[in-house]
Amino acid sequence: MALILFDYDGVLADTLDDLLKFSQEICNELGVQHHVVREDISTLEAMSFANLGRRVEVPEPLVEEFVRRSLEKVANKKTPPHIFPGLAQVIRELSTRHILGIVTTNSSQNVNAFLKEHALADCFRAIYGVDQPGTKAEKISHARDQFTAAGEAVFMIGDAASDINAAREASAKSIGVSWGHQSVEMLIRSKADYIVNSPRELLDLFTQEGIFD
């Protein structure tokens, strides 16, 4: 049995179009003259609403407001985002043999709404959102302390360089997914321990000999 932690945006939830739309709306509301494009997200080294705000040229005194409005717009969206095809069944299967959690820079409220929409709430033991203190690495370490015995494997699944770096800082194994917001090249440069190209590959990975060593 292992502790498997998932990032949310770009790993579980297909939120790219929402992030682009909401970021542009907020720039317009704040008077920021920036045309938001996919590269603003896909080339972001450390994925967070705060860093996205900085990337789209939001002045530093307004970054906190950008974050607040981003979380609010996500929460007020009439329906939660789609889950990536094939992933729901993989999560259900993994949850029968492993402990699953979520570590994200989104809010726990938004993640809970998503899990409820896709009937996955019972699959995850904990959500560590932006509303909880600490870095991603600190939250991974906290999850290890909470759910594992000494020596048990811990994995962080992400789509961004920041997820891979957080896993390394917390002495967890990292799994990069190619269907997320950032490129495979960035995952390779970040030296992810594993890279998978589909939910099925993710499931197959946990049956490979040696992955828990």
SS3 143: helix
Q: Is the dihedral of CA 79, 84, 86, 91 positive or negative?
A: negative
pTM: 0.90
Answer yes or no: are the C-beta atoms of 100 and 203 closer than 8 Å.
no
Predicted local distance difference test score (pLDDT) of residue 212 = 82
Predicted local distance difference test score (pLDDT) of residue 209 = 67
Domain range 3-14+82-205, CATH class: alpha beta
Predicted local distance difference test score (pLDDT) of residue 137 = 97
Task: Say how far apart CA 107 and CA 166 lie, in whole Å.
Answer: 18
Task: Say how far apart CA 113 and CA 76 lie, in whole Å.
Answer: 11
Residues 6+ apart with CB under 8 A from 22: 69, 70, 73, 74
**Where do the H-state alpha helices sit in the chain?**
16-30, 39-42, 49-55, 60-76, 87-95, 108-117, 136-147, 161-169, 184-189, 199-205
Q: What residue ranges do the domains of the chain occupy?
A: 3-14+82-205, 16-76
Answer yes or no: are the C-beta atoms of 133 and 76 closer than 8 Å.
no
- List average pLDDT for each run of 10 residues in the chain, which is 213 residues long: 95 95 97 95 86 96 96 90 96 96 94 96 96 95 92 93 96 96 90 96 88 80
- Number of CB atoms found within 10 A of residue 162's CB: 23
